[in-house]
Chain A
């Protein structure tokens, strides 16, 4: 540790003494903030792990959920888009260090240029996340929920016993029946609906399922390949694979569909077509909280960027402010590295 006696410059002394741990006041406070924020995110991710372990047999498989890429419709592209988002964020981190580095050399124009690149990278990332949310909320295949609260997805057996997902819109037909969404003028005074009406009613899905003998039901449960699983006569023979969702026989499927009480399309905070109800909650909370951090980071970066342009730090003869927002920005990148692993990979 340094000696307690201070010589020379007053700027290196805090109110009551020397710089603790050799860091300026602002930088040390930024580290305090980062430690506490890191624990908040850890709390979220650990809670996600808790719920996942609790429902380990029925948790959705992420590479089946996130399969979209801009301008490539209808193709199954697991994880390419999140990978791209990760690269964008890492690269914006690189431009941020380059800005800090240029700041050490007191090169105002270079700092401004790299700050601008960082801001653009951050905006692209937030935009990508919005697009990801849109796809997640809209959903693709649709599903039904049973009276017991478990989720049924529809599949058919393709060539080579390969299981293919089937969209509701591909087999369900709307029947002429009276379905009225409740509004203030139509019964909402005494009755309330929690969500908007799905495209199809339960009766329509059930009728269409009966009419298409090739269709099967896929449950939330992940096939383990244990003795009980192999002996289970309710599972379709020859198609179930270890670590994939279980597919039922036609008879068992019909029985399960008979228990349906709700059609689920896309995702909201109550239910989602991907599986466990908690999955969408965690998705919205964790990526949302992270996205909010990126958004705040972009705003803070813009403020610092304007200050660089105005020459504030040039007058101060120190670009330490750029270093401090840099710490925050790298932290946001760091969190994303973990969110990426635990939400999309593991």
Chain B
């Protein structure tokens, strides 16, 4: 449900809770990035290793909290919320899909043709 964004209720508890969540997630990310446990780093799921999956999912969780709590998206009307979020998510997924597939293809051309880098 959308609230009136002009109501004068203090959100202090929520703010500090979100800060706690963001800090914990960042700490976990950095710890994993430094340790790079083999169990995660060496195993691949859908073309990407598990460690990177964890990083990307945690990043999206962080983005969710920043947009929803700090930018107060949860208090906006659903129409505003989704015209911003859905547009951005769709365009970004589209862009990433095209560019990464193309990049991978060019890697294949370099790797399998007579073009050599190693001299």
Contacts and interface: CB of A to CB of B under 8 A. Distances in A.
Label chain B's interface by main secondary structure: helix
Nearest to B71: A330
Interface stretch (A47-55, A163-171, A307-315): A47-55
Interface residues of B, number: 59
Contact of A243 (B12, B42, B118): B42
A42 interface: yes
Contact of A94 (B19, B87, B91, B118): B19
A330 B70 contact: yes
A190 B80 CA distance: 61
A90 B23 contact: yes
B118 to A, nearest CB: 6
Interface string A247-288: 000000000000100000000000000000000000000000
The main secondary structure of chain A at its interface with chain B is: helix
Interface stretch (A98-106, A192-200, A202-210, A297-305): A98-106
Given A101-B12, A333-B66, A39 B59 contact: no
A21 interface: yes
Given A94-B19, A148-B118, 10 more contacts: A21-B76, A39-B91, A46-B96, A54-B103, A79-B33, A83-B27, A90-B26, A91-B19, A105-B10, A148-B119
Interface of A: 1, 21-23, 28, 31, 34-35, 38-39, 42-43, 46-47, 49-58, 63, 78-80, 83, 86-87, 90-91, 93-94, 96-98, 100-101, 104-105, 146-150, 219, 221, 242-243, 259, 323, 326-327, 330-331, 333-334, 337-338, 340-341, 344-346
26 contacts: A22-B80, A28-B80, A39-B88, A50-B99, A50-B103, A54-B106, A63-B33, A79-B33, A86-B26, A87-B26, A90-B22, A96-B70, A101-B15, A147-B119, A148-B118, A150-B117, A150-B118, A221-B118, A326-B71, A330-B71, A331-B71, A334-B71, A337-B66, A341-B55, A344-B33, A346-B56
